[in-house]
Amino acid sequence: MMLNLIEVAVGAKIRLTDGTVAEVVDNPGDGQWLVIATDGGEELVHAQDVAGLAEDDID
């Protein structure tokens, strides 16, 4: 199931396809892009690079 990026709130933790966990710092609401913060700083990521919410990995 694909994550609907329009619904991802600022402050949510997401997991990228490369395994990186990042915090959403801005969501332009277009369903395609999120601005995330990692140890390397802030960056823009596309929907195809988002694996899901990091909280979904917690059992």
pLDDT digits (tens, 9 = 90+) for 15-59: 999 999 999 999 999 999 999 999 999 999 999 999 999 976 544
Q: Is residue 4 part of a domain?
A: no
**Alpha carbons 37 and 23: distance in angstroms, whole number:** 5
Query: DSSP secondary-structure letter at 27?
Result: -
Provide the domain count of the chain. Answer: 1
**Alpha carbons 5 and 39: distance in angstroms, whole number:** 22
* CATH (domain of 29): 2.30.30
**Alpha carbons 21 and 29: distance in angstroms, whole number:** 20
Residue 31, domain extent:
10-57
Closest CA to 30 of 20, 44, 18: 44
Provide the whole-model pTM: 0.88
Q: Is residue 30 part of a domain?
A: yes
Bridge partners, residue 37, by sequence? 23, 42
